[in-house]
Amino acid sequence: MRGNRDKLVAQRERLIRELPKIKGVGRLRGGVESNFLLYELLNKDGQPDNVTALAVYETLAENKGVVVRFRGALERTLAEVNDHGTTASKDEEKKEIEANAVIS
């Protein structure tokens, strides 16, 4: 069980390193010790934007099979996508990073 935990932590740390490098991924809005990561998504002007966040959500969740949640419809949130950074495998993690890069 500890081996699985170590793999999940390593995958989460990789996502924390790699996602901010993608154009259109904004600030990390939550903690880093949970089983998900909460990021703002930015429009072409570099501003948090719900339309952009919803489009990213729809592409990742519905077309790419990546587990994400759109949070922009919740009170006091703007342009946030909740990324369950504890992906099941390195292949899924790579697919998520590549899908994010294509959207940007």
Domain count, the chain: 1
For 35, the domain range is 2-103
> Per-residue pLDDT for 103 more than 50?
no
Collapsing DSSP states into helix, strand and coil, what is residue 51? helix
pLDDT score recorded for residue 92: 62
Average pLDDT for 65-94? 64
Crossing angle of helices 90-103/2-18, nearest 10°?
20
Share of the chain above pLDDT 90, in %: 22
Condensed to tens digits (0 to 9), the pLDDT of residues 29-38 reads 888 887 788 8
What pTM does this model have?
0.68
**For the CA atoms of 67, 61, 46, 22, what is the dihedral angle to 10 degrees?**
60
pLDDT score recorded for residue 61: 84
Strand duo 68-70 + 80-83: pairing: antiparallel
Tell me which amino acid residue 10 is.
A
CATH number, domain containing residue 86 = 3.90.1150.10
